[in-house]
Structure 1
């Protein structure tokens, strides 16, 4: 099983959701959209969407920008991870 680590994070303007680009030990990349969620009165951060695998971090980010609406407009702010 491949090990993963975050290499880039893009925050939604309201900071209630964010995208994380992950590098994998097998040389591939993927992304996850994480968001604040609530269930039975309990708040937590959970994975709202997860991608497949990509050959580069750039490919993963391009696909995320294509399918995640809040990444298209307005531009998300990048943060170091």
Structure 2
């Protein structure tokens, strides 16, 4: 029988991406994603190795941010 914690780890790994993958999927630079994180707009999980891991929901979140900025919400 597989331990529950292992199943959670597998599920987590399947539902996350590193910042470079997120950047490619949404068409923004990793620098902008880091800035959005600094501003509290994104909250990736950080591993001991320092890598940022974003959940799938981050794709929609970044697209929403881009839409708001495009509509002039930054003024």
Shared fold (TM-score, shorter chain, > 0.5): no
Greater C-alpha Rg? 2
| Structure-1-length-normalised TM-score | 0.28
| Structure-2-length-normalised TM-score | 0.29
Higher helix share: 2
Higher strand share: 1
